[in-house]
Amino acid sequence: MPKLKPHSGQTCPEAFQVALDALDVIGRWEWDAATDGIRSDAFVALLFGLDPEQAEEGAPLAAYIDGIHADDRERVLALIRRSGREGSTYLTEYRVISVDGRTRWVLARGRFIGDHAGRPLSGSGILVDITQMRMSEGTFNEVEVCSGQATLDRAADHAIAAQEAIVELQDPKLKAHADALLMELGRRLAQQEVQDRRKRMN
């Protein structure tokens, strides 16, 4: 997804809405414990109502927390803290207030790496906008922590690592392929979550 530049100090909500409505979009983020900053792509920044340029350089964790819907914030923070202590992968859904002022649903999949004492050192993950799917279903999935790593989760981990390396190469063609792979993995994760939810409901 091309970088959306702020216009007169504001990001154009119409452009963001068109991008979201046109396709399923996936975004990625990285957290560094030393700076307590999160670097994310433009899509994630806009989902949380942040300036994409600031997010690319590293925005404070508190800024992202503020973007989580008030009704979901404590639940998501508790999940992330537990996942950080255990160094485990998590998969959950929650609402954010995006740059256009709308409430959107995201499927979040992340992982933390900790030191020998269990303190988190870094984290990374992906977000998929699943607003349309949630609105059509009208269901809510409780928090889950994925302690084991399924094949799809491992593939997502490797794809994120590959994309990080490819970004350093500054090869636009390779980056487009890596982005496409992450996009498809995000869709598959969302589909898998829907299937798992339906099984639990039956």
In a domain, 109, yes or no: yes
In a domain, 160, yes or no: no
In a domain, 2, yes or no: no
pTM of this structure: 0.64
Give the domain extent around 111: 13-148
pLDDT digits (tens, 9 = 90+) for 132-163: 777 766 544 443 444 444 677 777 777 776 77
In a domain, 119, yes or no: yes
* 9 has pLDDT over 90: no
CATH code of the domain in which 97 resides: 3.30.450.20
Interacting residues of 122 by C-beta distance below 8 A, sequence separation 6+:
30, 31, 32, 33, 112, 113
Tell me the CA end-to-end span of the chain in Å, nearest whole number. Answer: 37
The sheet carrying 103-114 orders its strands as 59-60, 37-40, 26-32, 120-129, 103-114, 89-97, 144-146
In a domain, 135, yes or no: yes
Least confident of 6-10, 43-47, 60-64, 80-84: 6-10
Q: How many domains is the chain built from?
A: 1
Tell me the average pLDDT across 161-169: 73
Tell me the average pLDDT across 79-99: 86
In a domain, 7, yes or no: no
**Exposure letters 42-66 (e unless 16+ CB within 10 A, then b):** bbbbbbbbbbbebbeebbebebbee
* 27 has pLDDT over 70: yes
In a domain, 103, yes or no: yes
In a domain, 180, yes or no: no
